[in-house]
Structure 1
């Protein structure tokens, strides 16, 4: 039976999976959600013998039901190929009592590659299925990683253009260099004078701008999104949690149906929502551990039931999580509100007007699967240093936030027996200075960014990723900077409309 998607803010807006991927955001500003979470139709023993591509198909076919088997398998094969530096695609590494799910072996060395390698293929297939004649303009806000992964995925893809907005002083030097050196005649990168939340809000406003949509259509263009608000981003992420569980089972690390914990460093809430969907497909997950940095809006939400973005915005060493509006949380709110679009819309309207909303006690009771906490800047650095000193394993700042919260979870709950997977979301090479400062600031303080890269390779016994080697001498190709209010004009200028 085909899965139908509807808007979290209007139950009457219903679309197929391919239409949801094409639109990105619903017309009313809501997010597309499936009318039910499908169950896995393969056994754990079957999953244990599958490679990553086969696992991805087993999961994604359940959600993308209007794609044919041939279409979906073609998208998967094109996505998960030699652009990843390991055949496993998402290897598990055991270190200091936890299993780190390394999601950074793709072309831009961050977990966003896991979904953004396949999204262009899903999008082009969806356009073909729905007889779309316009060119697709991917409009994306990034807190650091989505931007480069989306740019790499869509570069020179026929029938598409991609425009990425990022906070000019809110990403790491490596992240910025990766974006502004991106090749491709259809790629555009813009730094804004503002933070990620302002970039994301600006993008959402453009999606809802009817006048701009009409101008775009007249010029032969239509918007879609590569942010995690697009269901085509979220569905591929479910696959790696299923894959990780199956690999633990195959290795004999867990018994059949044994529950595991999953820890996810979380900003926009998409990655942990994918784990929640995996649990609801039947994957034996005990706790979903939501790890925040000092922008701890999600930690406060899980503790109090009130989501309040009215607070100081912190720039941290884990910039991809420097977010105060966690867009994907809306999909969870919709679900715990009993799939009530009107109730969800009321809460989201309050967030827009007042910067806060509070859920009911009844809704709060449905969050029992989640545990939230945060790791401070000082704690993040200590986690990196301690893990390296103890094991020689080097993790990035975002993964360290997750590891720090996992330590607090064990201390608070006394749950030290449940096998636990930590989503390792970026290569330490992406945040070299923060990582090396954590290990020995005095020793490495005077080194340049690329000297630090070589030193990290030496002490961590890991080859420098191709993505880093490529930008050592790469030429800056994008230098546009604008105010938040100027974002629509910049888009029109790029598209000559």
Structure 2
């Protein structure tokens, strides 16, 4: 299995090179040449397996230069030995209204990013060995909240790595900020930027492709890599939990037979999580409709509905901050697939986006989008309304991103009249990561001036839902990182983390 760049198909690398490098030299994203296919018989076999067994089988088709023993080592290290609650990484909870909640927040940082970022450090370190690199990997991360903490926790004190995380100063929840700024580890660094997530993401991409910085890294035996979902090693593990959810529904009788189709509803801003669901469908997972849920930053909704991608629009800071994104990086991989691997068309659109802030796809791609996806969005008021209604009707407490998905699923049912297809809603974070917004939705005695940890305790007292210990323990952890930089100074921060003196 080799990997091509979305912007230049003449570039062809091994999976180890793709994971170690993170992003192609010209800015494209690596994608596999082919995808394996799983039959209904395969799904029945997987339904009898554990999560780790399912992961090993699916990963093995893509990690062609890894041995079975190496894949087993990576998967076992990522998903067992108490890393996830009850050693069940991705449980499916059935609600009385028939919705299936795929809960992806039972890991070390209480967010779905753990599902990939507990595995990626093991894949990366082995990949570096396979390409015979003695360089230290300097991992750059732009985060809208959850990726930063999950990456920091996953790479904490991993030999041969340094990790630098950038987050928007006023664009993450207080709990997300505290998780990052109290991070332990000798190889970690965190910096807020004056700007939004798109500024952080654009800044990181520019640093990745800056020839002067790459030359300085080369001189100091360093190389860049990424823990964002632009890295194939981050995206690949996310495919697994969609297969696993389907297999769990088969095993517990929620699906009548292998081959029965499901809807998958994903709250997403950067498009990686729903792209993994698309790839699962491409690989044979029986999916009827992929439902893309956005908050007020509805650039993806508009694109799927009209074929026009326009980042020149008002940016909203919402109570679902992990989706406060206007440049969705992983959409590039979908476009590459829908155009039949036409790297020239994709590169042209990405250049238009960079220079003009917009692009428009042709009718062929728009038709495919409508066949595959339903897209909708909701605002903060509607989000809080869902949290309250779901708690009162189901006694189920969800976070602000999951609530967006529930709202958009309801929009889909109303528009399509599809009430029969079993539907899986991806629940991406613990409600305690966004305790302020969740508490204000369910409590009539909400006090805005209470401390973050008082709100967490009040939410637990009110609902009876236990506070995850990894959230509770943050109250006594010391803040280590307080640096704030401008968008223009991100380069200097990276060089400082690398312990490289900038040259005049």
| Match of residue 190 from structure 1 | 191
Contact 1:40–1:58 (Cα < 8 Å) also in 2: no
Residue 44 of structure 1, CA deviation: 1.8
Distance in 1 (alpha carbons) for counterparts of 2:131 and 2:24: 16
**Equivalent residues in 2 for 1:97-246, closer than 5 Å:** 97-246=98-247
Contact 2:262–2:424 (Cα < 8 Å) also in 1: yes
Q: What SS does the aligned partner of 2:441 have?
A: helix
Contact 1:259–1:285 (Cα < 8 Å) also in 2: yes
Change (3 A) 1:345 1:74: same
Distance in 2 (alpha carbons) for counterparts of 1:188 and 1:291: 32
| Match of residue 345 from structure 1 | 347
| Match of residue 310 from structure 2 | 308
Does 1:93 pair with 2:102? no
| Match of residue 259 from structure 1 | 261
Residue 441 of structure 1, CA deviation: 5.4
| 1:127-179 CA distance string (max 9 Å, x none) | 01111111001101000000000000000001100000000111000000000
Residue 446 of structure 1, CA deviation: 4.3
| Match of residue 446 from structure 2 | 443
Residue 83 of structure 1, CA deviation: 1.4
**Equivalent residues in 2 for 1:329-478, closer than 5 Å:** 329-367=331-369, 368-440=371-443, 442-478=445-481
TM-score norm. by structure 1 comes to: 0.98
Q: What SS does the aligned partner of 2:86 have?
A: coil
Distance in 1 (alpha carbons) for counterparts of 2:154 and 2:46: 28
Residue 39 of structure 1, CA deviation: 1.2
Distance in 2 (alpha carbons) for counterparts of 1:441 and 1:9: 53
Does 1:53 pair with 2:55? no
| 1:220-241 CA distance string (max 9 Å, x none) | 1110000010000111000000
Distance in 2 (alpha carbons) for counterparts of 1:459 and 1:289: 32
Contact 1:272–1:288 (Cα < 8 Å) also in 2: yes
Contact 2:138–2:498 (Cα < 8 Å) also in 1: no
Residue 451 of structure 1, CA deviation: 1.4
| Match of residue 78 from structure 1 | 77
| 1:306-361 CA distance string (max 9 Å, x none) | 00001011000000000000000000011111100011100110000110000000
Distance in 1 (alpha carbons) for counterparts of 2:379 and 2:480: 36
Residue 462 of structure 1, CA deviation: 2.4
Distance in 1 (alpha carbons) for counterparts of 2:52 and 2:113: 17
Provide the aligned C-alpha RMSD in A. Answer: 1.0
Unaligned runs of 5+ in 2: none
Q: How many residues align?
A: 495
Residue 470 of structure 1, CA deviation: 2.0
Contact 1:40–1:62 (Cα < 8 Å) also in 2: no
Residue 444 of structure 1, CA deviation: 4.0
**Equivalent residues in 2 for 1:275-314, closer than 5 Å:** 275-314=277-316
Distance in 1 (alpha carbons) for counterparts of 2:366 and 2:445: 46
TM-score norm. by structure 2 comes to: 0.97
Residue 94 of structure 1, CA deviation: 1.4
Q: What SS does the aligned partner of 2:116 have?
A: helix
Contact 1:436–1:444 (Cα < 8 Å) also in 2: no
| Match of residue 9 from structure 1 | 7
Q: What SS does the aligned partner of 2:317 have?
A: coil
Distance in 2 (alpha carbons) for counterparts of 1:57 and 1:83: 17
| 1:201-225 CA distance string (max 9 Å, x none) | 0000011011110101111111000
| Match of residue 490 from structure 1 | 493
Q: 1:479 aligns with which of 479, 482, 495?
A: 482
Distance in 1 (alpha carbons) for counterparts of 2:167 and 2:446: 32
**Equivalent residues in 2 for 1:21-60, closer than 5 Å:** 21-40=19-38, 43-60=42-59
Change (3 A) 1:161 1:441: farther
Distance in 2 (alpha carbons) for counterparts of 1:462 and 1:441: 17
Contact 1:31–1:229 (Cα < 8 Å) also in 2: yes
Contact 1:25–1:224 (Cα < 8 Å) also in 2: yes
Q: What SS does the aligned partner of 2:443 have?
A: helix
Residue 494 of structure 1, CA deviation: 1.9
